[in-house]
A and B are shown apart, each in its own frame.
Chain A
């Protein structure tokens, strides 16, 4: 089948795209290690191993060329995103089983690469946070970077209770503002702990900045387009800004929302998953805006610390509809009567 046009092809591949995504994550991971210790590297390794094993097993079961697909890098991207959205001191079995679930159920049972309607990493996140809410909200405090102590928690020779853990600022805000009697204010909660900082929580804002850097590089490499990050961060900031203007005591401001939690990672690396996201330019805007809205609502009023994962899955559901409704006009069909404007 070599004989048909075009006879020329750009030397790009799915593998190259996936490895660019992985490379773009590296600055964020480096900053992560700086603030929260090296445990995240172990988590990434665990998730990667689980993802590759799961992928290989499923490919063999489905009779697909194992080597070809295993090396496409898509399983690694899923694994890294799972590790980066989970607490770095999550027990090892949680990371492993969540990753296996993502690969086996969310990816391969739906048909494998290119066919999964839901973002596998976000499926893993949602399943885990529903099943193990406590484990999923134990984060190491800033400064708790002792590797062996972290490993003790991960491999459960020591319980998380004994480790120096704390809620993320996002979680703290959500739980404390939820109790009306407490008369807490945003400023009060964020000021209650030195490591929360003023912007997004010390550490988080720097990690977010590093993700932003990687994301901008992906934009420059044309791996992603501007639509998703701009719409997601823009709408999130807009809603947060509007509410915090109206009631700054009760609602955190736009900058806080944009740099905290998974927002920046989501904007450039998770929502931009081409397989489960919308494909048309207008569709991408709608998709990302929808996630932003849902994320903000769940963060502010919901029962879970970060609403991004739920927002993504809910919007994944709407993708076929969004794509269908946002088909751009075809060349020459913009104005069927006049054939375009001279």
Chain B
């Protein structure tokens, strides 16, 4: 079956600059003096450290346990000694810091016992666990834990597997070289992914400016059924996950939805390669290919241990004198590194040395002239100038109406804008502000719910106590009539505490809460409601006789109830 290509709208064609770093094969970067391994290297929770300072570790030994299911394990990239576990700054747009395991290599590169698995004999669930425990995350830059992406959708399977070898950002070539040199291993990894997802068809999308990678991957898949290498037109961002899925299958996945819902999922070629290493060689993810390019003397691709300081890598390529900053990622979506003594993470696909000559800063920002160039360039088919307007005016409601969260921050709009407007910055600002507002709202909603629930519970406890009291009084009266002394009528506070938690309030309960709030308000205004209001008249009559004892019960009811968890 030959795949037909679909088009995605928009996109731009910046000069690719791929030749610079593809002249030499991948080089293994030397072992650095220190490795700084951040524990959090994927979307999701921060793994807990499994080692202590002073402890010896082997290459591939697990040093961070996945935190819950939405996370992946972290491993020692080489054998050596753990020096410390401390907070260090991460290479991240926000410059955040997080716990890192600092390892001093012993230079022996001694592996843990590697246990290869025969994937065909394993269940998808077991393999997903294996991927999580091997620290496999998306190596395209998003570092989403791969095992989570392999959860089938409603249909129980992911029919189409898309393998992303497009690598559309200028300058970056790590996937290109990986495909040229290790196509066979990538295809083995693809076979494993395919097995887990029980996918029928695999489409490997590669931009047509990489003829060697296409040839290598074609050769490697020549004898595989249902796997096809599809050259896609070179146009940024053809390698955007949603754009590639659109181009190869025609399916458009909107914001907030995920591939499996549409029977499709996308993996980077580097991820497929590391899946093969993890499953068939028993080697967890401890290294990746990093492109070092831009304003440097000897650009190239390096196989780098996770945790290697970027400074050590720069020494290998010789940055030129007028380098004024380093960008992690490509020139379209990468971010400027605040410092260069930061470690390489699983997200680090490229370190790009920038100079004013190579990446001239945009000119003075001018007013938007509504020329529509941004709209024509936007692959998400948004109206960037409208989003700009609403973001600038802090009209977040309108920005959302115009689908600002569908913006993938690809930068195409800012790239073409003749007014040099830093459009993406405005969207980032709007999105962050909206997320902050959302968090605040959630927090206050939760507080309000807690408050209402407390009122509701207090109210209900009082009512229940009153009912129990009434019942006991009735029993006591009967007993007195029978000549017995009444037992202590006050119910135990412990019993009163046995109210079920109410995490999900249904309509009836909401109504009760509303009523409770209303009563609480009335109470505040000095109207003392009688807990006995809801009882039958004959019981009320009985209760009136024991007013004195009820006062004591009220005292107990006034003790502050616990917060629901």
Binding site for B on A (CB under 8 A): 1-14, 16-17, 65, 68-69, 72, 74, 112-115, 225, 274-275, 277, 279-280, 323, 327-334, 336, 339-342
Residue of B nearest to A330 (CB): B403
Contact of B380 among A1, A13, A330 (CB under 8 A): A330
Q: Shortest distance in angstroms between B338's beta carbon and chain A's nearest beta carbon?
A: 9
Q: Shortest distance in angstroms between A19's beta carbon and chain B's nearest beta carbon?
A: 12
Question: Do B331 and A12 have beta carbons less than 8 Å apart?
Answer: no
Question: Do B418 and A13 have beta carbons less than 8 Å apart?
Answer: yes
Question: Do B354 and A7 have beta carbons less than 8 Å apart?
Answer: yes
Question: Do B380 and A114 have beta carbons less than 8 Å apart?
Answer: no
7 sample A-B contacts, Cβ–Cβ < 8 Å, listed by A number: A1-B425, A6-B424, A7-B334, A8-B170, A13-B366, A327-B402, A330-B254
Question: Do B422 and A340 have beta carbons less than 8 Å apart?
Answer: no
Question: Do B170 and A332 have beta carbons less than 8 Å apart?
Answer: no
Residue of A nearest to B356 (CB): A2
Contacts of A342 in B (CB 8 A): 249-251
Report the separation of the CA atoms of residues A308 and B100 in the bound assembly, to the nearest whole angstrom. Answer: 69
B404-427 vs A, CB cutoff 8 Å, 1 = contact: the mask equals 001001011011111110101100
Contacts of B352 in A (CB 8 A): 7
Question: Do B411 and A14 have beta carbons less than 8 Å apart?
Answer: no
Contact of A331 among B254, B327, B362, B425 (CB under 8 A): B254
Task: Identify the interface centre among A3, A7, A74, A274: most chain B CB within 10 Å of its CB.
Answer: A7
Report the separation of the CA atoms of residues A279 and B242 in the bound assembly, to the nearest whole angstrom. Answer: 26
B335, CB-defined interface residue at 8 Å:
yes
Please name 7 further chain A to chain B contacts, defined as beta carbons within 8 Å, in addition to the given A72-B366, A114-B366, A340-B250, sorted by A numbering. Answer: A1-B422, A5-B335, A5-B424, A7-B359, A12-B373, A68-B364, A225-B372
A-contacting residues, B308-345, CB 8 Å = 325, 327, 329, 331-336
Question: Do B383 and A280 have beta carbons less than 8 Å apart?
Answer: yes
A14 with B242: in contact, given A5-B332, A7-B359, A279-B375 (CB under 8 Å)? no
Contact of A339 among B253, B331, B360, B366 (CB under 8 A): B253
Question: Do A339 and B369 have beta carbons less than 8 Å apart?
Answer: no
B348-379 vs A, CB cutoff 8 Å, 1 = contact: the mask equals 00001010000111111011111111011001
Question: Do A274 and B360 have beta carbons less than 8 Å apart?
Answer: no
User: Main SS of chain B's interface residues?
Assistant: loop
Q: Shortest distance in angstroms between A13's beta carbon and chain B's nearest beta carbon?
A: 5
Q: Which 7 A-B pairs have the closest CB atoms?
A: A332-B254, A6-B411, A340-B252, A114-B367, A3-B336, A332-B252, A7-B331
Question: Do B253 and A332 have beta carbons less than 8 Å apart?
Answer: yes
Report the separation of the CA atoms of residues A225 and B359 in the bound assembly, to the nearest whole angstrom. Answer: 29
B59, CB-defined interface residue at 8 Å:
no
Residue of A nearest to B263 (CB): A342
Q: Shortest distance in angstroms between A16's beta carbon and chain B's nearest beta carbon?
A: 7
Contact of A274 among B261, B362, B371 (CB under 8 A): B371
A275 with B335: in contact, given A2-B361, A9-B415 (CB under 8 Å)? no
Q: Shortest distance in angstroms between B23's beta carbon and chain A's nearest beta carbon?
A: 22
Report the separation of the CA atoms of residues A340 and B254 in the bound assembly, to the nearest whole angstrom. Answer: 9
B132, CB-defined interface residue at 8 Å:
no
Residue of A nearest to B254 (CB): A332
Q: Shortest distance in angstroms between B330's beta carbon and chain A's nearest beta carbon?
A: 8
Question: Do A8 and B370 have beta carbons less than 8 Å apart?
Answer: no
B257, CB-defined interface residue at 8 Å:
yes
Question: Do A114 and B368 have beta carbons less than 8 Å apart?
Answer: yes
Contacts of B363 in A (CB 8 A): 13
A6 with B251: in contact, given A114-B369, A280-B383, A331-B381 (CB under 8 Å)? no
Q: Shortest distance in angstroms between A112's beta carbon and chain B's nearest beta carbon?
A: 7
A-contacting residues, B66-92, CB 8 Å = none
B246, CB-defined interface residue at 8 Å:
yes
Question: Do A2 and B325 have beta carbons less than 8 Å apart?
Answer: yes
Question: Do B257 and A339 have beta carbons less than 8 Å apart?
Answer: yes
Contacts of A3 in B (CB 8 A): 325, 335-336
Residue of A nearest to B250 (CB): A342
Report the separation of the CA atoms of residues A341 and B251 in the bound assembly, to the nearest whole angstrom. Answer: 6
Contacts of A332 in B (CB 8 A): 242, 252-255, 257, 406
Contact of A5 among B257, B372, B376, B409 (CB under 8 A): B409
Task: Identify the interface centre among B363, B380, B412: most chain A CB within 10 Å of its CB.
Answer: B363
B292, CB-defined interface residue at 8 Å:
no
Q: Shortest distance in angstroms between A226's beta carbon and chain B's nearest beta carbon?
A: 12
Question: Do B262 and A339 have beta carbons less than 8 Å apart?
Answer: yes
Contact of B334 among A5, A13, A328, A329 (CB under 8 A): A5
B194, CB-defined interface residue at 8 Å:
no
Report the separation of the CA atoms of residues A113 and B421 in the bound assembly, to the nearest whole angstrom. Answer: 14
Question: Do A331 and B420 have beta carbons less than 8 Å apart?
Answer: no
Task: Identify the interface centre among A5, A11, A280: most chain B CB within 10 Å of its CB.
Answer: A5
Q: Shortest distance in angstroms between A149's beta carbon and chain B's nearest beta carbon?
A: 40
Residue of A nearest to B410 (CB): A6
Question: Do A331 and B369 have beta carbons less than 8 Å apart?
Answer: no
Q: Shortest distance in angstroms between B199's beta carbon and chain A's nearest beta carbon?
A: 15
Report the separation of the CA atoms of residues A167 and B519 in the bound assembly, to the nearest whole angstrom. Answer: 85
Report the separation of the CA atoms of residues A224 and B367 in the bound assembly, to the nearest whole angstrom. Answer: 18
Contacts of A328 in B (CB 8 A): 381
Question: Do B332 and A6 have beta carbons less than 8 Å apart?
Answer: yes
Question: Do A6 and B369 have beta carbons less than 8 Å apart?
Answer: no
Q: Shortest distance in angstroms between B319's beta carbon and chain A's nearest beta carbon?
A: 16
Question: Do B382 and A330 have beta carbons less than 8 Å apart?
Answer: yes
A-contacting residues, B243-268, CB 8 Å = 246, 249-255, 257, 261-262
Question: Do A279 and B372 have beta carbons less than 8 Å apart?
Answer: yes
Report the separation of the CA atoms of residues A8 and B410 in the bound assembly, to the nearest whole angstrom. Answer: 12
B385, CB-defined interface residue at 8 Å:
yes
A339 with B333: in contact, given A5-B409, A279-B375, A332-B242 (CB under 8 Å)? no
Contacts of B257 in A (CB 8 A): 332, 339
Contacts of B412 in A (CB 8 A): 6
Question: Do A8 and B418 have beta carbons less than 8 Å apart?
Answer: no
Contact of B369 among A65, A225, A275, A330 (CB under 8 A): A275
Contact of B254 among A4, A13, A333 (CB under 8 A): A333
Q: Shortest distance in angstroms between B273's beta carbon and chain A's nearest beta carbon?
A: 26
A9 with B362: in contact, given A115-B367, A331-B380, A333-B403 (CB under 8 Å)? yes
Task: Identify the interface centre among B332, B352, B367: most chain A CB within 10 Å of its CB.
Answer: B367
Task: Identify the interface centre among A8, A74, A225: most chain B CB within 10 Å of its CB.
Answer: A8
Report the separation of the CA atoms of residues A7 and B370 in the bound assembly, to the nearest whole angstrom. Answer: 22
Report the separation of the CA atoms of residues A29 and B11 in the bound assembly, to the nearest whole angstrom. Answer: 37
Q: Shortest distance in angstroms between B20's beta carbon and chain A's nearest beta carbon?
A: 15
B184, CB-defined interface residue at 8 Å:
no
Contact of B418 among A2, A14, A65 (CB under 8 A): A14
Q: Shortest distance in angstroms between B193's beta carbon and chain A's nearest beta carbon?
A: 20
Report the separation of the CA atoms of residues A6 and B252 in the bound assembly, to the nearest whole angstrom. Answer: 24
Residue of B nearest to A327 (CB): B383
Contacts of B385 in A (CB 8 A): 279
Report the separation of the CA atoms of residues A1 and B371 in the bound assembly, to the nearest whole angstrom. Answer: 24
Contact of A341 among B250, B366, B370, B380 (CB under 8 A): B250
Contacts of A8 in B (CB 8 A): 14, 170, 331-332, 359, 411, 415
Report the separation of the CA atoms of residues A68 and B365 in the bound assembly, to the nearest whole angstrom. Answer: 10
Contact of A4 among B246, B250, B424 (CB under 8 A): B424
Report the separation of the CA atoms of residues A53 and B514 in the bound assembly, to the nearest whole angstrom. Answer: 68
Contacts of A333 in B (CB 8 A): 254, 403, 406
Report the separation of the CA atoms of residues A161 and B414 in the bound assembly, to the nearest whole angstrom. Answer: 55
Question: Do B369 and A12 have beta carbons less than 8 Å apart?
Answer: no
Report the separation of the CA atoms of residues A5 and B237 in the bound assembly, to the nearest whole angstrom. Answer: 14
Contacts of B252 in A (CB 8 A): 331-332, 334, 339-340
Contacts of A2 in B (CB 8 A): 325, 336, 361
Residue of A nearest to B362 (CB): A9
Contacts of A4 in B (CB 8 A): 335-336, 422, 424-425, 428
Task: Identify the interface centre among B254, B379, B416, B428: most chain A CB within 10 Å of its CB.
Answer: B254
Question: Do B425 and A330 have beta carbons less than 8 Å apart?
Answer: no
Report the separation of the CA atoms of residues A4 and B325 in the bound assembly, to the nearest whole angstrom. Answer: 11
Question: Do B251 and A339 have beta carbons less than 8 Å apart?
Answer: yes
Report the separation of the CA atoms of residues A20 and B540 in the bound assembly, to the nearest whole angstrom. Answer: 92
Residue of A nearest to B425 (CB): A4
Residue of A nearest to B361 (CB): A2
